[in-house]
Amino acid sequence: MKHVITALLLLIPLALSAQQNPMVDNSVAALARPFVPTGWKVIATAKGDLNKDAAEDIAVVIENTDKNNITADKDETSVSEALNTNPRHLLILFKDKSANGYTLAAKNESFVPPHDNPEIPCLTDPFVDAGSLEVVKGTLVVSTQIFWSCGSWSIENNSYTLRHQDGDFVLIGFDSHSSSRSIGEVTR
């Protein structure tokens, strides 16, 4: 019994770290580490073949951790006590079979919205709170959710589907649906 309790106590930190960001596969984050600048962190990962070469490619969303971009919420209307406006970048890495590593295939510095928007302080994090990053049937799907904790009754879920073609990633699909919390109406 004593050993069981000790084992459970040792597992608690692992469980807590897993709960902190379920969008990150630590083994994928480690593979992407050479492409993550100092002072940035991985906040989402996905893996799968994106360029039809039968190799497992990687997509990651990284976020700057500059404390200068975290400010107090002067109006006290935000979901948290501070506004984090650090930028987020989407990186897509192709598996390089010959070098047994990865190469940067694409980088977008504005596609994934930051945690907070100072213009709309009561907006929850549009990406981490309910968004996702997935590889589905050779495409990359980036999902976001727009949810206001004040000032609006609507919730909007958006999904963007990107495919690698002609040497670039192009948007091939956009799905959106919104609902009104006040009347339950859903729009697709």
* DSSP sequence for 62-130: EEE--GGGEEE-TTS-SSSSEEE---EEEEEEEEETTTTEEEEEEEESSSSPPS--TTSTTB--TTTTT
Contacts of 118 by beta carbon, 8 Å cutoff, 6+ apart: 71, 83, 85
- Return the domain boundaries, the chain: 24-187
pTM of the model: 0.81
User: Among 39-53, 107-121, 145-159, whose mean pLDDT is lowest?
Assistant: 145-159
Cα dist from 177 to 20, 27, 111, 122, whole Å: 27, 33, 19, 20
> Cα–Cα–Cα angle for 127, 87, 169, nearest 5°?
70
Q: In what order do the strands lie in the sheet with 57-64?
A: 40-48, 57-64, 88-96, 101-108
In the prediction, which pLDDT does 179 show? 83
pLDDT tier at 5, thresholds 50, 70, 90: very low
